[in-house]
């Protein structure tokens, strides 16, 4: 327990009770988020790694310099908060948060209600309509997916305003890799929906998703307008996911 708390403090992420490490110049406060209880055992080892500690310090310095970071504090682990590990049925992987004002709220591809729906999500909605007949919603908030067990996880969980990919390689990848691996190690068969090369490359780092896996791994091009017509449209990920989940007694997602 004490080692776990030290690891959380170094990253600036807090455990139950919002415990904080004592102030120390070598232990920067960093992102100051709370790790949801169900995910703590899976993330504990990676939080103790040097790169995770460096991530906390780097984020603190970026914010102290006046840079705007999305999503705001308190929303960076929203995907893990809304979808406990033991409730995950589907994993959808994104690259990094939206980098425009008001867009990112901790779930990949999703935006809060009232925010213009981004082009990739417009295409996701079109495929959803064509695949299983769901009417295109008037907003882009996917929290209702997350609450049903759809883990909407980005590779990097923060980004600098106006600079796509700016936080890639800063340390989030090890944490999100650990989250994906934790789902893949569970006995319950789950569905992994991988849109684009970044998502496929991330899944390739998880041995449990290799040949002979008990999970369903669905791959296609990214829903971006640049690639959606190259195989994303018509890939039918939603009906395939539900058919697999039903066949394994896990119930359908109400997409």
Render pLDDT for 136-149 as a digit per residue (tens, 0 to 9). 999 999 999 999 99
- Within a domain: 210: yes
The residue among 55 and 9 whose pLDDT is bigger is 55
pLDDT in tens, 225-250: 999 999 999 999 999 999 999 999 99
Which range is least confidently modeled, 17-31, 145-159, 161-175? Answer: 17-31
131 annotated active-site: no
Tokens matching residue 71: 């999503």
Q: What is the pLDDT of residue 33?
A: 75
Burial 63-92 (b: 16+ CB within 10 A, else e): beeeeebbbeeebbbbbbbbbebeebbbbb
Closest CA to 88 of 172, 178, 15, 182: 182
Same domain, 184 and 224: yes
Same domain, 186 and 233: yes
Same domain, 18 and 110: no
Same domain, 209 and 97: yes
What does the pLDDT average to over 4-12?
A: 45
- Within a domain: 156: yes
pLDDT in tens, 174-227: 999 999 999 999 999 999 999 999 999 999 999 999 999 999 999 999 999 999
pLDDT in tens, 172-188: 999 999 999 999 999 99
How far is residue 63 from each of residues 30, 34, 44, 76, measured CA to CA in Å? 9, 18, 25, 14
The answer on pLDDT for 124 being more than 70 is yes
Q: Are strands 150-154 and 90-94 parallel, antiparallel or unpaired?
A: parallel
Domain boundary among 67, 102, 120: 67
Q: In whole numbers, what is the pLDDT of the chain averaged over residues?
A: 89
Same domain, 99 and 171: yes
Q: Choosing from 86, 96, 177, 254, which is the catalytic residue?
A: 96
The answer on pLDDT for 4 being more than 90 is no
- Within a domain: 237: yes
Same domain, 17 and 107: no
Same domain, 18 and 94: no
- Within a domain: 254: no
Q: Residue 16: which domain range?
A: 1-67
């Amino acid at each position: 327990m004490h080692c776990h708390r030290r690891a959380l403090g170094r990253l600036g992420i807090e455990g139950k009770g919002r415990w904080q490490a004592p102030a120390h110049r070598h232990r920067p406060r960093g992102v100051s988020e709370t790790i949801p209880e169900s995910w703590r055992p899976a993330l504990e080892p990676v939080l103790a790694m040097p790169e995770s500690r460096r991530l906390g310090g780097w984020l603190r310095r970026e914010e102290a310099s006046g840079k705007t970071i999305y999503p705001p504090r308190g929303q960076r682990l929203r995907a893990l908060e809304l979808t406990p590990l033991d409730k995950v049925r589907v994993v959808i992987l994104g690259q990094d948060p939206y980098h425009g004002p008001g867009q990112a709220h901790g779930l990949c591809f999703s935006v809060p209600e009232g925010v213009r729906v981004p082009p990739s999500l417009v295409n996701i909605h079109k495929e959803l309509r064509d695949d299983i007949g769901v009417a295109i919603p008037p907003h882009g908030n996917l929290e209702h997916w997350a609450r049903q067990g759809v883990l909407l996880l980005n590779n990097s969980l923060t980004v600098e305003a106006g600079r796509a990919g700016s936080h890639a390689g800063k340390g989030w990848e090890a944490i999100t890799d650990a989250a994906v691996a934790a789902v893949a190690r569970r006995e319950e068969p789950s569905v992994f929906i991988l849109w684009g090369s970044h998502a496929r490359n991330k899944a390739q780092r998880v041995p449990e998703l290799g040949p002979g896996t008990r999970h369903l791994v669905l791959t296609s091009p990214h829903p971006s307008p640049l690639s959606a017509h190259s195989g994303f449209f018509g890939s039918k990920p939603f009906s395939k996911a539900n058919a697999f989940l039903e066949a394994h007694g896990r119930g359908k997602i109400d997409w």
